[in-house]
């Protein structure tokens, strides 16, 4: 690890303009946000992924899904960025994230690309409306919120399983990652198409607390994000 950390620091130091940060749920675990897999607290071990992360599950039980989702949004709102988010913000490398919790922004990162949507946004299941979650009436607890434009069912503006990612975001991610030095942090790499994106980089530095979840063919740093990132980016 010490040697890999040294090599990773050298690589970053020699080409800082090439560095792109790529994060998953593990970067927020130490802020108290539950990851999806591979922990005692894994969300998908406790909640049915088909129900809570698919359009079919949502259309069957919109109220249950909204209630569950708003609890996740509320925990994220009360969470604070941890030392990993802060270390990333201190260097202002562009961030590509799968997380919807907005903790990179809370830490001060300015350039953040959200591949799986954002927890503060919603959209309509029928018309083209999309906007802030706060524009919906979520105070009524026995009816799922309606679209402010057409009154149809509104939904979280996040990507559920089986749904396509924004083409614009995929292109942006491609342009950022091509030939980059990509620092991949806290993702199990189980969800496509995003899991393949770090493969575009020239060099992948993989940070994960679980050795089995590192990106293959990468420079591997095993440990927690909050321990490693401040050391990786220290002056
Ligand atoms: P996962 O929950 O699948 O994986 C979290 C990863 O973080 C695992 O590899 C852990 O070993 C690692 N980890 C946990 N704590 C850590 C720590 N303190 N420091 C470093 N690493 C740590 O999360 P994602 O890969 O982000 O999709 O999941 C991908 C997608 O699956 C999510 O965006 C979400 C989910 O279903 C959608 O909502 C569409
Ligand atoms: Zn609408």
Q: Which ligand is nearest to the CA of 188?
A: 1
Dump pLDDT digits (tens) for 185-226: 999 999 999 999 999 999 999 999 999 999 999 999 999 999
pLDDT of residue 235: 87
One of 116, 168, 196, 214 is an active-site residue; which one? Answer: 116
Dump pLDDT digits (tens) for 10-22: 999 999 999 999 9
Question: How many percent of the chain have pLDDT more than 90?
Answer: 94
Our answer to whether residue 116 is catalytic in this structure is yes
Average of per-residue pLDDT across 134-148: 89
Q: What spacing in Å lies between the alpha carbon of 36 and ligand 1's midpoint? A: 6
Q: Which ligand is nearest to the CA of 135?
A: 2
pLDDT of residue 123: 98
Q: Which atom of ligand 1 is nearest to the CA of 161?
A: 39
Q: What spacing in Å lies between the alpha carbon of 209 and ligand 2's midpoint? A: 42
pLDDT of residue 2: 78
Residues 88-121, buried b or exposed e (16+ Cβ, 10 A)? bbbeebbbbbbbbbbbbbbbebeebbbbbbbbbb
User: How confident is residue 180, by pLDDT bands cut at 50, 70 and 90?
Assistant: very high
């Amino acid at each position: 690890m010490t040697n890999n950390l040294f090599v990773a620091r050298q690589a970053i130091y020699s080409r800082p303009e090439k560095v792109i940060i790529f994060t998953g749920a593990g970067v927020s675990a130490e802020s108290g946000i539950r990851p999806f897999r591979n922990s005692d607290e894994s969300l998908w071990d406790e909640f049915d992924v088909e129900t809570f992360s698919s359009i079919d599950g949502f259309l069957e039980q919109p109220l249950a899904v909204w209630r569950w989702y708003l609890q996740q949004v509320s925990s994220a709102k009360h969470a604070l960025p941890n030392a990993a988010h802060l270390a990333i913000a201190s260097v202002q490398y562009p961030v590509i994230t799968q997380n919807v919790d907005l903790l990179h922004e809370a830490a001060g990162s300015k350039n953040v690309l959200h591949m799986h949507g954002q927890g503060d946004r919603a959209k309509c299941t029928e018309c083209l409306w999309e906007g802030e979650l706060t524009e919906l009436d979520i105070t009524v607890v026995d009816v799922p919120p309606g679209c402010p434009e057409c009154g149809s069912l509104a939904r979280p503006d996040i990507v559920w399983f089986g749904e396509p990612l924004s083409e614009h975001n995929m292109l942006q991610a491609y342009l950022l990652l091509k030939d980059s030095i990509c620092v991949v942090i806290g993702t199990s790499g189980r969800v496509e198409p995003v899991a393949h994106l770090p493969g575009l980089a020239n060099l992948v530095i993989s940070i994960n607390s679980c050795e089995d979840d590192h990106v293959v063919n990468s420079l591997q740093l095993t440990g927690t994000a909050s321990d490693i990132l401040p050391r990786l980016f220290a002056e």
